[in-house]
Each structure stands twice: as C-alpha cells, then as structure tokens.
Amino acid sequence: MKPAFVFGTRPEIIKLAPVIRAFEELDVKPLLVHTGQHYDYEMSRVFLEELELDGIDYHLEVGSGTQAEQTGTAMIKIEKVLMEEKPDVTLVQGDTNTVLAGALASVKLKIPVAHVEAGLRSFDRTMPEEINRILADHASEILFAPTEEARRNLEREGITSGVYVVGNTIVDAVLQNAEVAERKSDVLDRLGLRPKGYVLITAHRAENTDRKENLERLVEILEDLPITAVYPMHPRTRRRLEEFGLWERVKSIENLTVMKPLGYLDFLKLERNAKLIMTDSGGIQEESIILNVPCLTLRYNTERPETIEAGGNVLVGLEKERALHYVERLLNDEEFYRKMAGAPNPFGDGKAGKRIAEILLELWKKGELKVRSSRFI
Ligand code: UD1
Ligand code: UDP
C-alpha cells in the first residue's frame, strides 16, 4: 500500500507525525509531500527535525500568496506529484489551504482522500479555514472525525458513510512528546520563567491580525495583563504589527517577552508550565485541555466546542474587560482555577494515529479504498 501525505504548515506536521509513524510500524512506507506553505526554519524544518520526519519526498515550495494564488499553485504542483506517484490514498489534515489543494487535486485524479480531523465547524463561513474544512470534507472518501460532535456535523451535511470517530492525533503528539520536552527543553531557564508564573500567548488568525482595529485590541489586552507574559509570535502577526505601526508599542510592554516561534519541545514545555494560556490557535486550545492548563480563547467562536463544554476553555474574543476578568479570576480564585484546569480531555486516548493507519490498510486490503460515484450507494 502506498499512502501519500500532503501537508505544508506547522500544525499539519505536528498532527500527521503520529499517523506517519503508525504506518511505518505497519511496514508501510508513506510518501511525504510538503507544499512549503510554511517555509521559515521555525515554522517547518524545526518540526521535521524534532519529530524525525527526515524523508520528505517532495518539497513543492509553494510559499505565501493570496488565498487563490497559494491554493492554486499548490493544486498544480500536488497534481503533478500524484500523477507521477499514483498513491492509493491521499491523507490531508485540518483546514489550511494546503488541505483544500491536496483534497481537490487528489479526488479529481480519482485518488481517494482521507481527511484527518474531519467534521470540525466554527459555523463562521467568513474564515478561510471554514471554507477549506467544508470543501475538504465533501471531497473526501474517508473521514476521520476526532469526536462525536464532529461526526454529527458531518451527518448534518449528509456525510454518513466512510466516517470513523478515532480521536484527535494531537493527543498522540502530546503524549509522545511531553515527557521528552520536559527532560530536554531548557526554555524556562532560557527565558527566566517560573513554573506556573506566567501566561503563554499566541495569536495569528487572519480575523485577529489583518485589520488594524482588531490587532490594536489585542495589543490593548497585552498592555494590561497583570502577570508575566510570553508570546512566541507567528510571522504573520509580527508583519502586521510592523505594517500597522503597533510593533514599538508591543515591544515596550514591560512584563511581556515576544520571541520568534518556538520548536515543539520548547513550546510544549512552555504550555505545560504556564499558569494559563491565551490563544486563537486551534491546536493550542486542544493541547491546553490535554495538559490541564486553563485556556482563554481570543475568538468569538470555536470549532472545538468540546473544550468549552468540558469546562477547560472560555471564549473571550478581543473583549479586554472580559479577557482581564477571566485572567484575574484564574489568578485569584483557586476553586475556579482547579475546575478549569481539571476539565477532562475530550479528544481521545492518544491512539488515533494507529487507528487511522489500521483502518486505511484494512480498506486497501479489501479493495475498498476508492472514489465511489456516490456517497449514497
Ligand atoms: C495558516 C492557516 C491557518 C493555520 C496556520 C498555522 C490557511 C488559510 N491558514 O495560516 O489555518 O492556523 O497556517 O500556523 O491556510 N509567513 C512567514 N513565514 C512562513 C509562513 C508564513 O513569514 O514560514 C508569513 C507570510 O507573511 C505569510 C503569512 O505569514 O503571508 C501568512 O501565512 P499563510 O500560510 O498564508 O497563513 P497562516 O497565517 O500561516
Ligand atoms: N506551536 C509550536 N511553537 C509555537 C507555537 C505553536 O510548536 O511557537 C505548536 C503548538 O504546540 C500546536 C501547533 O503549533 O501543536 C499549533 O499551530 P498553530 O497555532 O500555528 O495552528 P492552528 O492549530 O491554529 O491551525
């Protein structure tokens, strides 16, 4: 069997690594295709090194661009690889432009698509990610939903066959790397941080960074945080801060340390030892509940409602008063803190990667890994 993995950004590398590993353990050699949507060392290569994904077969060097430029260029280049390599299945993960490009290029060549982390919905179609998720799910033959909630979202859109609830591979990634991170990373010493003595911040999403008034609201929250803060900053945010003339303001915040994005081991260690996390990232909302760290999400909706229902995550948007209210409460109300930190992980047992590889291998052996003419026959 020949599975092709198409990926291109930081979270895709992290979340697909456990699936790639699981195939290798079944003696199946995966074809690895990196679109190059992320290309800085600290957004891509560092993860390939740390997660030991050294055998990338194709680097497509798509790079940055408008939505259509990036997606279109990726499609053209992925199609060439798939035509040449003729894999049995194409795996994509999540909701990036790389995912949409991989799914469309593949299904049109009649190579079935397996979507890892299928069925997530923010119910906000103004987000590029929501469009990517919906279209990728509808182009996919096999849908690996992380939770029952995700399965129900697919069902609501008429997708009921080929759906498997397997958990989220982020749990695999955290379990496989958290201990190593704790041992190997010296990030706390490097940054002069005390365990549970700081808040960890990340924000990069288009809706928070691409409009000056929104980015300024984020800066205002950062300016008033009553606790030491660290912010490994996505290059998109850094660029926008400079463009909008806000960078100097951020740099002058006394209790805030801004740095380049970190590798996975350093970042996991920072997450695990944070008092709380403030983020607009999808993966970090998941990791915080897995690591028992309260999360305040800098968004007005989330495609991870399980984290809210479990009690480990609160949506604060860019509302300064609301955000600071929850920060104060987490710092001062021990019982509230314990409740949020103790929320149960809704994303599974850390064996999602193994399940995905086994299911696909089984379908392939039975000759059932193909694009069907209809979902309903
Ligand atoms: C993309 C995904 C987003 C995901 C994020 C993970 C889409 C539509 N968005 O957003 O869902 O959460 O990846 O981090 O696919 N840049 C660099 N160096 C890099 C990569 C990007 O400087 O290595 C800068 C460029 O200025 C680029 C900007 O970041 O224009 C945005 O990059 P892009 O890949 O378009 O989207 P992300 O914001 O990374
Ligand atoms: N991450 C990292 N270093 C950082 C920031 C994030 O290793 O400086 C990891 C984080 O642990 C998580 C993933 O990157 O697994 C999340 O990626 P991102 O926030 O870019 O994307 P999203 O999950 O929002 O799509």
The tens digit of pLDDT for each residue in 143-156 reads 999 999 999 999 99
For the domain covering 3-168+349-365, report its CATH number.
3.40.50.2000
Distance CA 198, CA 218 (A): 18
**What φ, ψ does residue 376 adopt, rounded to 5°?**
-105, 5
Average pLDDT estimate for 244-250? 98
Specify the pLDDT at position 365: 98
Is the beta carbon of 154 within 6 A of some atom in ligand 2? no
The pLDDT > 70 percentage for the chain reads 100
Is the beta carbon of 144 within 6 A of some atom in ligand 2? no
Nearest-CA residue for atom 24 of ligand 2: 281
Residue 11 CA to ligand 2 center (angstroms) comes to: 5
Distance CA 304, CA 285 (A): 8
DSSP 40: S
Nearest to 92 by CA among 46, 48, 60, 139: 139
Cα-based torsion angle of the residue sequence 137, 139, 142, 145 in order, rounded to the nearest 10 degrees: 0
Distance CA 298, CA 3 (A): 36
pLDDT beyond 80 at 58: yes
Average pLDDT estimate for 289-313? 98
Contact of 87 with 1, CB cutoff 8 Å: no
What is the residue-wise DSSP string for 64-93? ---HHHHHHHHHHHHHHHHHHH--SEEEEE
- The letter for the amino acid at 352 is A
Q: How confident is the model at residue 54 (pLDDT cuts 50, 70, 90)?
A: confident
Contacts of 5 (CB under 8 A, 6+ apart): 16, 19, 20, 30, 31, 32, 33, 90, 91
| Atom nearest to 170 CA in ligand 2 | 15
For 328-359, write each residue's pLDDT tens digit. Answer: 999 999 999 999 999 999 999 999 999 999 99
Q: Which of 172, 284, 307 most suits a substitution to test ligand 2, by most atoms within 8 Å of the C-beta?
A: 284
| Cα Rg of the chain (Å, integer) | 20
Specify the pLDDT at position 347: 98
What burial letters (b/e) apply to 24-47, b meaning 16+ CB within 10 Å? eeeebebbbbbbbbbbeebbbbbb
Residue 38 CA to ligand 1 center (angstroms) comes to: 6
Specify the pLDDT at position 323: 98
Residue 306 CA to ligand 2 center (angstroms) comes to: 19
Residue 98: nearest ligand to its CA? 1
pLDDT beyond 90 at 128: yes
Does the domain at 189-341 match CATH 3.40.50.2000? Answer given as yes
Q: In Å, how far from its chain's centre is CA 140?
A: 19
Distance CA 64, CA 43 (A): 13
For 7-27, write each residue's pLDDT tens digit. Answer: 999 999 999 999 999 999 999
Specify the pLDDT at position 322: 98
Enter the tokens of residue 125: 């179609």
Distance CA 232, CA 308 (A): 24
Tell me what the pLDDT averaged over the chain comes to.
Answer: 97
Specify the pLDDT at position 376: 78
What are the residue ranges of CATH 3.40.50.2000 in the chain?
Answer: 3-168+349-365, 189-341
Distance CA 337, CA 341 (A): 6
Is the beta carbon of 97 within 6 A of some atom in ligand 1? yes
Nearest-CA residue for atom 3 of ligand 2: 262
Residue 92 CA to ligand 1 center (angstroms) comes to: 17
Contact of 238 with 250, CB cutoff 8 Å: no
Residue 203 CA to ligand 2 center (angstroms) comes to: 10
Is the beta carbon of 209 within 6 A of some atom in ligand 1? no
Residue 100 CA to ligand 1 center (angstroms) comes to: 14
Nearest-CA residue for atom 17 of ligand 2: 11
Specify the pLDDT at position 218: 98
Specify the pLDDT at position 306: 98
Contacts of 324 (CB under 8 A, 6+ apart): 221, 224, 225, 226
Average pLDDT estimate for 156-172? 97
Nearest-CA residue for atom 14 of ligand 2: 11
pLDDT beyond 90 at 375: no
Continuous H helices in the chain: 10-25, 45-50, 67-85, 97-108, 128-139, 148-156, 169-184, 187-191, 206-209, 212-223, 235-243, 247-251, 264-273, 282-290, 305-310, 320-332, 334-341, 352-365
Is the beta carbon of 204 within 6 A of some atom in ligand 1? yes
**What φ, ψ does residue 351 adopt, rounded to 5°?**
-120, 20
Strand-by-strand arrangement of the 163-165 sheet: 58-59, 31-34, 3-7, 89-93, 113-116, 142-145, 163-165
Specify the pLDDT at position 45: 97
Query: What is the model's pTM?
Result: 0.98
Distance CA 339, CA 365 (A): 46
Question: Is 210 exposed, middle or buried, given 0-12, 13-18 or 19+ CB atoms closer than 10 A?
Answer: middle
Specify the pLDDT at position 310: 98
| Atom nearest to 98 CA in ligand 1 | 15
What is the residue-wise DSSP string for 125-174? TTSHHHHHHHHHHHH-SEEEESSHHHHHHHHHTT--TTEEE---HHHHHH
Is the beta carbon of 287 within 6 A of some atom in ligand 2? yes
Average pLDDT estimate for 115-120? 98
